[in-house]
Amino acid sequence: MKYIDEWNIADSGISDDDILINGNRFLIGNGNLGYRGTVEEADATHMPATICNGLYDRQGKKWREPVNIPNPIVIRLFTQQKDLLSIKSHNLLSHEQRLNFRYGIFSRSTSWNVNNSNIQVQSERFLSMDEPHHLYVKYRVITDAPVTLLCERGIDGLVYDINGPHLIQFESDQYDSMLQLRCKTQEQLIPITVISEAKYVGGDTVRQFEQHTVSKVPYIAELIKIELHPQIPFVIYCRSSIYSGEESSHSYEEDIKLNYAWNKEGDVLYDRALQRHRSVWDRLWKDGDVIIEGDPASQRSLRFSLYHLQSIAPRHRAGLSVPARGLSGQTYKGAVFWDTELFISPYFLSTDPSVVRNFILYRIRTLPGAIRKAHEYGYLGAFYAWESQETGEDACSDFNVVDVFTGRPVRTYFKDKQIHISADIVYAIKQYLSMTGDVSILTEGAFEVILNCALFYFSYIYYSPMKNRYEVLDVIGPDEYHERVNNNAFTNYMVHFTLNTALEYINYFSDTDKQFLSDKLQSTGFLPYIPLLYDLVSKIYLPEPNENGIIEQFDGYFRLEDLSITELKKRLLDPKEYWGGANGVASHTQIIKQADVVALLHLFKDQFSNLIKERNITYYASRTEHGSSLSASMHSLVYCDVGQPELAFPYFKKTAEIDLTGEAKQFAGLIYIGGTHPAANGGSWMSVVYGFCGFAVKDGTIFIKPQLPKHWKKVVFTSYVQGKKYTITVNKDGYTIC
Ligand code: IFM
């Protein structure tokens, strides 16, 4: 990996591993679509992917997952002998691909030796931030000696799928330079239309079109014969359009009209589209950038993280959220986890609260699915999907990992027992309300979400008459290695928080809109439980620190074997074996997967003293594998909170660099889990703004507690609070807010 400057990275790797990792690193996206950073000649083995936010499919009994749309930008060059010029060709001279993450522009420069002439391809592409359905490519070929090449430009329906194939009923069409590939998803027959249009600009180049379609559906392409003259470039300006569902149903005649314009002046239209795209990015960075002075590497990795967040933010359609691996592929079934609410939302809450509003609308829209899930388990209210797709049904399977020794699926209880998910959503709603004051979201459905989540916990928790307290039994906390534990401190505090929040907004509506309150209490079935709410709030068990100041992660945790991670690793028989579940090496020890008590200390930082936070982070940090990308940021936040920014710094680096270095876990058991890490990206912003700058908002007032790492000089960031924009500058000794 080459770091060119603070907005540009490059890589020249061509191995299979490089191709896989670069697919994520060089990803471009516009909130609607994500397109992996693969080269134009890629076939399915490079795992190119075009992912459309919110579009899922199921093949047979396999996992539902995002649909990988037919690859809209296949451009392949062949010699006259029909040898493909690819990054895998023996005659490759050089290859480098770049990402400009200021503007979400992928580019590549590759050269080959063909019969002693040096052929160079330079291309650039962007997924328009201005037009959610359009992907633009400029592909330029130049040579230093006369040469004849064949060029194939097409749309490829043969794509890589984890659990596919997902696409059926292919049809293709060609009109002039416009190619169309239409198909449907297997499960719900959702129509997909992919269009590719090209304007060819050749200067003095003589082109002989052999315009015909390669009709072996699902691939459609146009073949061109190009006579290249030295130093006279041949350029393809390509516009791809991708539509699914109702958006697919535009008229072919209309497409033809648009294509007429593209044929005529595609080069000019390309430049205009690029300009518009860049101005949207300029606008996004105005509020969304964070400046770090004194540490170019941190500046770069933070910006790279923010780039990834911006390029997956669903701004084009109401009620969409962000999958845990963004729009980088099919990993984790493209599902929305708690990552959105607790790790991704904070960034947008400060820089563009409308995005968080959309996340909440998504949870409002999927509330019926959460109510169904609660019902299926015999509970009341809303038990949100651990892995949520477009309807809120839980996509999480009963068997999330595979035993490497037997090849058998392992029963995991993530979906059944990570009940904190409902509370995480309530937590995010509360943050949104406190930061924006936008109470309208409550009457648009968020109040019902809160009531239903509280109701779910009513029906989940148990009263212990002996202890005269309510307990939360049989759960999984954030640390997924220890399943089905009792009184996970994180979960108990979150349940308490939810009940309190329900109470707060019941009181709010009791003062402001009694009719609305009464309607909602009736319709949600909450009314009979109001008296219980007070009892629950006051008697729920909130684990306290022990005599050493440590909060036990769950009942009995301290009795588990206490050993170091190094010792535990020595017990592994296979590097890919799963550490958790019934038989995992970590399950019967105090080694945990990710921040758990530490996450609790961050979320409820005002409820614990510095001493308690210090003791707990010291205790748990050494027992945490950080097997989840959600872990490092929480550690950096709590280390900052206790005034130890130098200890926080390596955790910040880890979370901020995850998608730059690509050094993240690629497998859980035998299951591929690679892709981008939006939660870690959001975590890097939190580490800087909440952590090193000590930014907090209480009752509409901004608080700053600067504790920058020694080598940082200054941080500048933006935050909206109650609709007003503030620019905050933090340096070693102080800060300004204006
Ligand atoms: O939500 C996380 C979970 O906490 C750990 N496993 C991966 C999920 C998606 O990022």
Ligand 1 atom at minimum distance from 325 CA: 10
Whether residues 338 and 224 fall in one domain: no
Q: Is the CB of 350 under 6 A from ligand 1?
A: no
Whether residues 240 and 298 fall in one domain: no
The answer on pLDDT for 210 being more than 60 is no
Cα 438 from Cα 446, distance rounded (Å): 11
Confirm whether 377 is domain-assigned: yes
Q: Is the CB of 324 under 6 A from ligand 1?
A: yes
Of all protein residues, whose CA lies closest to atom 7 belonging to ligand 1? 628
**pLDDT tier, 217 (very low <50, low <70, confident <90, very high otherwise):** low
Arithmetic mean of pLDDT, 77-99: 96
Ranking 85-89, 157-161, 189-193, 311-315 by mean pLDDT, the lowest is 157-161
Ligand 1 pocket test, pick from 594, 628, 655, 676 with the greatest ligand atom count within 8 Å of Cβ, gives: 628
Which has more confidence, 585 or 217? Answer: 585
Whether residues 397 and 504 fall in one domain: yes
Cα 28 from Cα 361, distance rounded (Å): 25
Whether residues 194 and 322 fall in one domain: no
Ligand 1 pocket test, pick from 308, 312, 330, 339 with the greatest ligand atom count within 8 Å of Cβ, gives: 339
Confirm whether 607 is domain-assigned: no
Whether residues 233 and 374 fall in one domain: no
Whether residues 246 and 300 fall in one domain: no
- 3-class DSSP assignment, residue 217: coil
Ranking 34-38, 247-251, 428-432 by mean pLDDT, the lowest is 247-251
Whether residues 242 and 319 fall in one domain: no
Residue 369: domain span: 291-461+482-538+629-642+650-737
| CA triple 277-278-280, angle to 5 deg | 70
Residue-level pLDDT at 662: 85
Strands 206-213 and 219-228, by their bridges, are antiparallel
Q: Is the CB of 337 under 6 A from ligand 1?
A: yes
Confirm whether 232 is domain-assigned: yes
Of all protein residues, whose CA lies closest to atom 4 belonging to ligand 1? 478
Confirm whether 473 is domain-assigned: no
Whether residues 201 and 319 fall in one domain: no
Whether residues 528 and 443 fall in one domain: yes
Ligand 1 center to residue 339 CA distance, Å?
Answer: 7
561-593 CB burial, b ≥16 within 10 A, e <16: eeeeeeebeeeeeeeebbbbbeebbbbebbbbb
Of all protein residues, whose CA lies closest to atom 10 belonging to ligand 1? 324
Residue-level pLDDT at 214: 57
Ranking 133-137, 172-176, 248-252, 731-735 by mean pLDDT, the lowest is 248-252
Ligand 1 center to residue 478 CA distance, Å?
Answer: 8
Arithmetic mean of pLDDT, 459-478: 98
Whether residues 221 and 331 fall in one domain: no
Cα 556 from Cα 677, distance rounded (Å): 32
Tokens representing 624? 């945490």
Which residue type sits at 308?
Answer: H
The answer on pLDDT for 509 being more than 90 is yes
At 507, which CATH number?
1.50.10.10
Whether residues 373 and 432 fall in one domain: yes
The count of structural domains within the chain is: 2
Ligand 1 atom at minimum distance from 677 CA: 10
**pLDDT tier, 213 (very low <50, low <70, confident <90, very high otherwise):** low
Ligand 1 center to residue 233 CA distance, Å?
Answer: 48
The answer on pLDDT for 9 being more than 70 is yes
**pLDDT tier, 248 (very low <50, low <70, confident <90, very high otherwise):** confident
Residue-level pLDDT at 664: 77
CB hemisphere CA count around 547 (13 angstroms)? 0
Whether residues 441 and 333 fall in one domain: yes
Arithmetic mean of pLDDT, 390-395: 96
Catalytic entry in 41, 65, 124, 480: 480
Confirm whether 619 is domain-assigned: no
Judge whether 480 counts as a catalytic residue. Answer: yes
Residue-level pLDDT at 176: 87
Confirm whether 283 is domain-assigned: no
| H-run or E-run covering 84 | strand 84-85
Q: Is the CB of 339 under 6 A from ligand 1?
A: yes
At 226, which CATH number?
2.70.98.40
Boundary residue ending a domain (190, 225, 253): 253
Query: What does R_g of the chain's alpha carbons equal in angstroms?
Result: 27
Strands 714-721 and 291-293, by their bridges, are antiparallel
Ligand 1 atom at minimum distance from 628 CA: 5
Are residues 574 and 584 in contact, defined by beta-carbon separation less than 8 angstroms? Answer: no
- 3-class DSSP assignment, residue 71: strand
Ligand 1 pocket test, pick from 312, 629, 631 with the greatest ligand atom count within 8 Å of Cβ, gives: 629
Nearest partner of 545 among 495, 602, 614, 599, judged by Cα: 614
Confirm whether 624 is domain-assigned: no
Arithmetic mean of pLDDT, 623-629: 95
Residue-level pLDDT at 687: 98
Confirm whether 229 is domain-assigned: yes
Arithmetic mean of pLDDT, 678-706: 97
Q: What percent of the chain has pLDDT over 90?
A: 89
